[in-house]
Amino acid sequence: MSIAPKQPPYPYVEHDDQGVPFIAGTTMKVVELVMAQRAHGWSPEELSFQFPRISMAQIHSALAYYWDNQQQLDADIERRTEAAEALRDAARQSPLARGLAAAKHH
């Protein structure tokens, strides 16, 4: 008889009504912290410096949660990145953006 491994506790990670993990006591989602770390190459110490209201314990708990749930959270990061790119592309194609671009070339 095999026993499934116990999921480790993440004392500083909570989930909202949609099941999205966020850092307890904040509004920052775990994926937002991970995206900042990836974008800037920040260490946990640098994350603490950049986000002074988030403790080192919260940061390490969130990062541990990420590594234990990497596939699911990477898929969420990919969806967020695609949505941001789509919004950026739509903004570039707006009538105002086209008019400004045309005026710039005249």
Q: Is residue 77 part of a domain?
A: yes
pTM of the model: 0.74
* 65 and 31 Cβ atoms separated by less than 8 Å: no
The token pair that represents 72 in the structure block: 């699911």
Residue numbers of the domain that contains 84? 13-104
Domains held by the chain: number = 1
Residue 7 lies in a domain: no
pLDDT of 7 reads 66
Q: Tell me the pLDDT of the chain (106 aa) as tens digits.
A: 556 666 678 999 999 999 999 999 999 999 999 999 999 999 999 999 999 999 999 999 999 999 999 999 999 999 988 888 888 877 777 777 777 777 877 6
- CATH, residue 75: 1.10.10.10
User: What token pair was written down for 85?
Assistant: 């790119």
Q: What is the spatial distance between Cα 76 and Cα 81, in angstroms, rounded to a whole number? A: 9
DSSP string of 41-80, one letter each residue: T--HHHHHHHSTTS-HHHHHHHHHHHHHTHHHHHHHHHHH
pLDDT value of residue 103: 81
Return the bridge partners of 14, or none: 22
